[in-house]
Amino acid sequence: MKCWEFKKCGRELNGAKSKELGVCPAYPDDGEECWAIAGTLCGGKVQGTSAEKDGNCRLCEFYKKINEG
């Protein structure tokens, strides 16, 4: 499962919110490890580097699903 499918963020190509901030850089190849991608668009704002957003990502239900099973 890709993060945009799980989170229903609409920031994938042709997604409902893809016009707002553009298509998320996790799309199309990194939807299973979006926490490693800088500048993703979770929460409707451009996130920082993977180091900067690590704290937020670890709270994310998708991150927990993939990493904690």
As a whole number of angstroms, the distance between CA 48 and CA 46 comes to: 7
Which regions of the chain does DSSP assign to beta strands (E)?
none
> x/- site string to ligand SF4, residues 24 to 43, per CB under 6 A?
x-xx---x--x-----xxx-
If one asks whether residue 3 binds ligand SF4 (CB under 6 A), the answer comes out as yes
Rank residues 11 and 29 by Cβ distance to ligand SF4 and give the closer one.
11
CB atoms within 10 A of CB 44: 10
If one asks whether residue 18 binds ligand SF4 (CB under 6 A), the answer comes out as no
Taking each helix axis from N to C end, the angle separating 50-59 and 61-68, rounded to the nearest 10 degrees, works out to 90
Which residues are near ligand SF4 by CB under 6 A?
3-4, 7, 9, 11-12, 24, 26-27, 31, 34, 40-42
